[in-house]
């Protein structure tokens, strides 16, 4: 695997690189939620987290379930 710039990870790459570890901010952007939502999910043990020092890194594979919750529309009807 080539050197991958994780700061630029996109939603599509989340599916292509399910083993990536992302920051809380990146996880929020990928899932279109807030950092506080990500924090609550970490606290409840809903995400796979690895700590780098004191900073949590979230496994992108564990974010995929957030994107496909049934009954939630991603954008309002136009």
Residue of 68 and 11 predicted with greater confidence: 11
Sketch the domain layout of the chain as residue ranges: 22-67
Closest to 31 (Cα-Cα) out of 10, 16, 49, 50: 10
Q: What pLDDT, on a 0 to 100 scale, did the predictor assign at position 15?
A: 62
Query: What per-residue confidence (pLDDT) applies to 38?
Result: 94
**Portion of the chain with pLDDT greater than 90, in percent:** 36
Statement: residue 78 has pLDDT above 50: no
pLDDT tens-digit readout, 19-55:
889 999 999 988 889 999 999 999 999 999 999 888 8
Pick from 7, 34, 22, 3: which is nearest to 62 by CA? 22
Looking at the predicted structure, is the pLDDT value of residue 60 above 80? yes
């Amino acid at each position: 695997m080539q050197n991958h710039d994780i700061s630029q990870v996109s939603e599509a790459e989340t599916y292509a690189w399910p083993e990536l570890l992302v920051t809380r901010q990146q996880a929020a952007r990928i899932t279109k939620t807030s950092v506080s939502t990500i924090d609550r999910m970490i606290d409840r043990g809903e995400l796979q987290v690895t700590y780098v020092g004191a900073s949590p890194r979230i496994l992108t594979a564990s974010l995929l379930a957030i994107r496909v919750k049934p009954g939630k529309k991603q954008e309002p009807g136009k």
